[in-house]
Structure 1
Amino acid sequence: MALLTIDNPVFVTYAICAALMVLKIMGQGWMTVYRMLKSNSGLASPEDLQRGLINRDPDPSQLEVNDYVDRSRRMHRNDLENIPGFLAVGLLFVVINPALWLAQVLMYGFVLARLAHFLAYASKQTHEVRATFYTVGSLIVIYMALHVLWKLLL
């Protein structure tokens, strides 16, 4: 069986999880833009103060940090720090042909950890709560990377 085809259930698991995580990254960016437009604040760059169709009345205060916008921006940054590692090592994990149950536990576990992290961040839970979900996702990616190395080097 070819490993990188839809005939391989491990690859299908990866493809589902990868697509969900790409949608999460892209959706978070759009959420940040929505929040900036809704609040008319939280702009990131001085050039954002130029008059235009959307920003008809620019004001320097629009560059001040707005927690409503910045919270989304921080969630986006966190996604960009964590999801690409999963995307890379997940594909390598498929190539070593692990047991389906292991791939599903790890890959769906990562997606659930990122979803839980998002909900914790969006609902302003404590750092300890967010860190717990981050840690679960991070340990999954680390395990997958070590598993790939172990299979390739032994």
Structure 2
Amino acid sequence: MTSMLTMENPVFMTYAVAAAIMVLKIMGQGWMTVVLMLRTDAGLLNPEDLRPSPANRNPRPEQLGFHADVERSRRMHRNDLENIPAFLAAGLLLVTVEPPVWLAVLLFAVFVLARLAHTLAYATAQNHEVRATFYSVGSVVVMVMAVWVLVAALA
């Protein structure tokens, strides 16, 4: 029998792909915020950010003010940081209890698609109900994985 945590295990391989996509999503959103800050020359958070530097040759107090695009990107990043780590933990635990491959693939895929849809909804300023729907789908997936692990561990 092969180890559960190798690419020979289709459940782990699927988890690894989903996890890698989600890690890139978290990191990419952080970089998107930086790009927007540079592009708009706004959205700085800290007073020390107004010190002259190669990245900010003309610091001005208004750079510390609210900028809608930068703040939207920050909220998207914060939402990822509130949701994706739970998926990473629950997904890895799910791998260890050897669920049916079809179930694991379905759960991992639905979570990734829900997070990407949530990002698209946020980026295009959709209503809260639209974003909440995608958030809820991903949240339910993580809870199903956690319950599956609990049931398997306590059986």
* Normalised-by-shorter TM-score class: over 0.9
Aligned to 1:7: 8
Q: C-alpha root-mean-square deviation of aligned residues, in Å?
A: 0.5
Aligned to 1:138: 139
Aligned to 1:101: 102
What is the Cα deviation at residue 44 of structure 1?
Answer: 1.3
What is the Cα deviation at residue 150 of structure 1?
Answer: 0.6
Aligned to 1:80: 81
For 2:88 and 2:3, locate their aligned partners in 1 and report how far apart those are by CA, in whole Å. 20
The one-letter amino acid paired with 1:70 is E
For 1:27 and 1:45, locate their aligned partners in 2 and report how far apart those are by CA, in whole Å. 22
What is the Cα deviation at residue 2 of structure 1?
Answer: 1.5
The one-letter amino acid paired with 1:151 is A
Unaligned runs of 5+ in 1: none
For 2:11 and 2:54, locate their aligned partners in 1 and report how far apart those are by CA, in whole Å. 47
The number of aligned residues is 154
What is the Cα deviation at residue 46 of structure 1?
Answer: 1.2
Query: SS in structure 2 opposite 1:10?
Result: helix
For 1:147 and 1:99, locate their aligned partners in 2 and report how far apart those are by CA, in whole Å. 11
For 1:44 and 1:101, locate their aligned partners in 2 and report how far apart those are by CA, in whole Å. 45
Aligned to 2:149: 148
- Which aligned pairs between 1:12-91 and structure 2 lie closer than 5 A? 12-91=13-92
CA offsets 1:44-90 (integer angstroms, 9 cap, x no match): 11111111111111111111110110100000000000000000110
Aligned to 1:125: 126
Unaligned runs of 5+ in 2: none
What is the Cα deviation at residue 9 of structure 1?
Answer: 0.2
What is the Cα deviation at residue 27 of structure 1?
Answer: 0.3
For 2:132 and 2:62, locate their aligned partners in 1 and report how far apart those are by CA, in whole Å. 32
The one-letter amino acid paired with 2:90 is V
The one-letter amino acid paired with 2:33 is T
For 2:132 and 2:64, locate their aligned partners in 1 and report how far apart those are by CA, in whole Å. 29
TM-score (norm 2): 0.98
TM-score (norm 1): 0.99
The one-letter amino acid paired with 2:127 is T
For 1:2 and 1:40, locate their aligned partners in 2 and report how far apart those are by CA, in whole Å. 50
For 1:103 and 1:10, locate their aligned partners in 2 and report how far apart those are by CA, in whole Å. 6
